[in-house]
């Protein structure tokens, strides 16, 4: 990945609940990542408190991460090798 630009941390809210943190250069890039079928498939199969994180009727919103969410994201990705894959950090407790 070309790190000439600083990546910002964004949070995806699903039905008003901060659910996923991810890095992107710009807001529209984060929105584009959140629209990917692969991520939506993952979100529809993962559950928290017995409910899927996402379904077709869910309302998704992307915003800049709060300072606390950014810290969680940085801590979770700190030990990972840089790659071109999307690094997502779940901000909810996953089942199983």
For the segment 10-38, what is each residue's pLDDT rounded down to a tens digit? 999 999 999 999 999 999 999 998 889 98
**95: pLDDT confidence band, cut at 50, 70 and 90?**
very high
Tell me how far apart the alpha carbons of residues 67 and 51 are, in angstroms, rounded to a whole number: 27
Residue 61 confidence (pLDDT) above 90: yes
pLDDT mean over 57-69: 95
Per-residue pLDDT at 83: 59
pLDDT mean over 53-72: 94
In the chain, where the domains are located: 8-90
Residue 75 confidence (pLDDT) above 80: yes
Residue 4 confidence (pLDDT) above 70: no
State the pTM of this model. Answer: 0.85
Residues in the chain: 96
């Amino acid at each position: 990945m070309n790190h000439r630009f600083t990546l910002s941390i964004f949070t995806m809210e699903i039905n008003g609940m901060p659910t996923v943190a991810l890095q992107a250069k710009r807001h529209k890039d984060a929105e584009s990542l959140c629209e990917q079928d692969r991520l939506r498939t993952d979100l529809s199969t993962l559950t928290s408190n017995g409910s899927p994180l996402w379904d077709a009727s869910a309302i998704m919103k992307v915003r800049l991460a709060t300072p606390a969410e950014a810290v969680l994201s940085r801590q979770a990705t700190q030990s990972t090798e840089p790659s071109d894959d999307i690094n997502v950090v779940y901000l909810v407790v996953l089942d199983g």
